[in-house]
Amino acid sequence: MLQYTIRRLILIVPTMFFVALITFTLAHMAPGSPFDKNENRPMSQETIDRINRTFGLDKPIPEQFVIFLGDAVRLDFGTSFTQRDRSVNEIIGQGLPVTAQLGVQALLLSLAISLPLGVVSALKQNSAIDYGSLFFATVGYTIPSFVIGIVSIFLFAVWLRWLPIIGWGDLRHMVLPTVILSLGPAAVLTRITRASMLEAIRQDYVRTARSKGLREQVVVVTHVMKNAMIPVATIVGPVTAGLITGSFIIERLFSIPGIGRLYITSIEARDYPVIMATTLLYAFFIMVANITVDLVYGVLDPRIKLAK
Amino acid sequence: MATITTSPTQQRAIEMNVLARKQRSLWQDALWRLRRNKAAMLGLAIIALAALMAIFAPWIAPYDPTVNDTAHNNMDPVFVGGQFTNPKFFLGSDELGRDILSRLIWSSRISIVVGLVPTSLVFVIGASLGMLAAFYGGWIDNLLMRFTDIIYAFPDLLFLVIIMATLRNSPVGDIMGGLLLMFVALAIVSWVGLARLVRGQVLSLKEKEFVEAARAIGVPTRRIMARHLFPNALAPVIVALAFSIPGAMLAEATLSFIGIGIKPPTATWGVMINEGFVVFSQSPWPTLLPAFCISIVMLAFTFVGDGLRDALDPRMKN
């Protein structure tokens, strides 16, 4: 177990290296320089050269990459190209709490929706509740989040005027983004919960528990649910990744000042330091989530061998 | 002659008995189950309709989807009524006065193509590499698995966003209004998943007796792969591909919605939503109509995908 954990943790390093390499190459492959945007007032060649020297862009790209790696190891990602008086860490430090709050709220909400829904629909298979939750799961899984977002902005903000359209700050701003971001994960989790509950209900140990006269409630909670939650736990890793990519769209749609929106604007502006830092942050986060899930899986289900 | 009355259940039993007597392959069986799945059939009908719309777009679209008519911009659909409608534009016009109906019809072309081309690429690359890795093992297998580890640490959309945003303004990004870049980007992101799936399938299949038997009677390796391993691994691959088509369509719509997908003035549902969203609070229709189209098509593909999964692997069904 410990050996496995260490091995997985060590593997983070080469993976991060390749993520950095791929992103760096792609970002620098794009034509033009980050500083020649203003076509009406083109900068003189000297100015461009000076800026490039300041940011180290005059060096060959492989050398730039080595310098970047050296700094990144010390968690120094330099200054942003677009907001030149601020360091990348400062900018990310400002956006991260917003994105984290949105993500955690959405994750909790999706668990709060999907677990009861999945459990109940499995216990009452083929009932109206079951069909309702399957319908919800299909729609939530299928309809793109930006479509649901647009329709709900239309309904609640434009038409009914109950909620503000965009922005971030008080609770009223958070309702729509949180709910919409949680729908996709909630749909996936509902499907998994229902399927794994149905699987667990049919196991022999459940029949044994019933036949020795345990109350139905006890059977469901301690025998069925306890075992059915194992596959659900494993899906939390992919769900986290889904929340991260989902937040790009939701933050863009609702103009939320988190790192999802920052990520997209920095790519458009070719703000290399911000692109690199956010990509690595995302990749790191997803890897840690996946490792955690695998470890939790091993603890929950002793039959799983983690050594390989 | 006296007719024997049978209840529907008995009738079914008789039919099934007759059917069971004939020998049916796995595929005939699956087709039979798929045909009985109403949701999947509805999905197929919608997809067929969208495909027809895409093929015959130049003939059924009333106007050129990229021609502006600024004198008649921001028209509401005819069914809304009111003074801001024009019988010329059945579903209204956008802020440049382009006919929304024509744009919706032409968009189905892009969606279908974006669904099919990358999926075919993924199938060819993923299936062959997955099979090679599983069959030969060794360094090929190791390389594939390490590569998938890296790709899995990247969420799909993150990777797509980087590729599209950085290369869209390069010469490659200009080919076919950005379509080629989109194909390549989608194929790069998705082939790994399929390769992993095929690898898993083949790994478990190659230990089976029928492969051993084939080898024992001296069937060459290439023929074992093509005639024994591949057809048997196909069922889950088909299901994965059925879900990969709407996945690619959704990715295109999402990227175009964020503004880094297909380049305007080409009409795609995602581009239309992106452009419509600017005038959303004045006129929601240019946004809502393409949003409706993409939702219907996505639902149709999910129904078909679920139907295929149930049909090809009845054990999976609860």
| B181 in any annotated domain | yes
What type of residue is A176?
A: L
pLDDT at B1: 45
Structure tokens at A229: 């939650």
pLDDT at B6: 62
Q: Please judge whether B166 and A268 are an interchain contact, meaning their C-beta atoms are less than 8 angstroms apart.
A: no
Over chain B (318 residues), what is each successive 10-residue block's mean pLDDT?
Answer: 59 60 69 83 91 86 74 72 71 75 85 90 89 82 78 74 80 77 87 85 83 88 82 83 88 86 83 84 84 90 87 60
| B22 in any annotated domain | no
| Window B:104-163, CB contacts with A under 8 Å | 149-150, 152-158, 161-163
| Window A:169-198, CB contacts with B under 8 Å | 194-195, 198
Cβ-count burial of A7 within 10 angstroms (0-12 exposed, 13-18 middle, 19+ buried)? exposed
pLDDT at A59: 75
Q: Please judge whether B158 and A245 are an interchain contact, meaning their C-beta atoms are less than 8 angstroms apart.
A: yes
Q: Please judge whether B318 and A125 are an interchain contact, meaning their C-beta atoms are less than 8 angstroms apart.
A: yes
CA distances from B189 to A118, A232, B156, B161 (A): 31, 25, 6, 11
Residue B298 near residue A143, CB atoms below 8 Å:
yes
| B41 in any annotated domain | no
- Which of A142, A241, A263 comes nearest B302 by C-beta? A142
Number of domains chain B is built from = 1
| Window A:212-251, CB contacts with B under 8 Å | 241-242, 244-245, 248-249
Structure tokens at A55: 């940011």
pLDDT at B16: 61
Best of B145, B152, B292 to disrupt the A interface by mutation (most A CBs within 10 Å)?
B152
Tell me the CATH number at B175.
Answer: 1.10.3720.10
Residue A176 near residue A152, CB atoms below 8 Å:
yes
Q: Please judge whether B281 and A248 are an interchain contact, meaning their C-beta atoms are less than 8 angstroms apart.
A: no
CA nearest to B286 within chain A: A150
Which residues in chain B have their CB less than 8 angstroms from residue A142's CB?
Answer: 246, 295, 298-299, 302
| B123 in any annotated domain | yes
Distance separating alpha carbons of residues A155 and A40, to the nearest angstrom: 42
Peptide bond preceding B265: is omega within 30 degrees of 0, i.e. cis?
yes
**What is the number of CB-based contacts under 8 A between chain A and chain B?**
120
CA of A308 vs chain B CAs: smallest distance (Å): 13
| Alpha carbon distance, N-terminus to C-terminus of chain B | 44
Residue A20 near residue A72, CB atoms below 8 Å:
yes
Element (H, E) at B199: helix B179-205
What type of residue is A219?
A: V
pLDDT at B318: 41
Residue B213 domain boundaries: 89-316
Longest dimension (CA), chain A: 87
**Which residue positions in chain A have pLDDT lower than 50?**
307-308
- Which of B152, B157, B163 comes nearest A245 by C-beta? B157
Which residues in chain A have their CB less than 8 angstroms from residue B277's CB?
Answer: 150
| B43 in any annotated domain | no
Radius of gyration of chain A (CA): 24
| Window A:244-273, CB contacts with B under 8 Å | 244-245, 248-249, 252, 263-264, 267-268, 270
CA of A241 vs chain B CAs: smallest distance (Å): 6
| Alpha carbon distance, N-terminus to C-terminus of chain A | 11
Residue positions counted in chain B: 318
Long-range Cβ contact pairs of A275-278 (< 8 A, separation 24 or more): A275/A23, A275/A27, A275/B162, A276/A20, A276/A23, A276/A24, A276/A27, A276/A68, A276/A72, A276/A77, A277/A77, A277/A88, A277/A89, A277/A92, A278/A92
CA nearest to B291 within chain A: A147
B257 touches chain A (CB under 8 A): yes
Best of A28, A150, A197, A282 to disrupt the B interface by mutation (most B CBs within 10 Å)?
A150
pLDDT at A2: 79
Residue B50 near residue B110, CB atoms below 8 Å:
no
pLDDT at B15: 62
| B248 in any annotated domain | yes
Q: Which residues contact B38 (CB under 8 A, 6 or more apart)?
A: none
B216 touches chain A (CB under 8 A): no
| B23 in any annotated domain | no
Best of B257, B292, B315, B317 to disrupt the A interface by mutation (most A CBs within 10 Å)?
B257
* Closest by CA position to B258, among listed B242, B237, B248, B273: B273
CA nearest to A240 within chain B: B155
| B74 in any annotated domain | no
Distance separating alpha carbons of residues A180 and A174, to the nearest angstrom: 10
Task: Kindly write down the DSSP assignment for every residue of chain A, as one continuous string.
Answer: -HHHHHHHHHHHHHHHHHHHHHHHHHHHHSSS-TT---SSSPPPHHHHHHHHHHTTTTS-HHHHHHHHHHHHHTT---B-SSSTTSBHHHHHHHHHHHHHHHHHHHHHHHHHHHHHHHHHHHHTTTSHHHHHHHHHHHHHHHS-HHHHHHHHIIIIIIIS--S-SS--SSHHHHHHHHHHHHHHHHHHHHHHHHHHHHHHHTSHHHHHHHHTT--HHHIIIIIIIHHHHHHHHHHHHHHHHHHHHHHHHHHHHTT--SHHHHHHHHHHTT-HHHHHHHHHHHHHHHHHHHHHHHHHHHHH-TT-----
Which residues in chain B have their CB less than 8 angstroms from residue A165's CB?
Answer: 281
CA of A151 vs chain B CAs: smallest distance (Å): 7
Cβ-count burial of B247 within 10 angstroms (0-12 exposed, 13-18 middle, 19+ buried)? buried
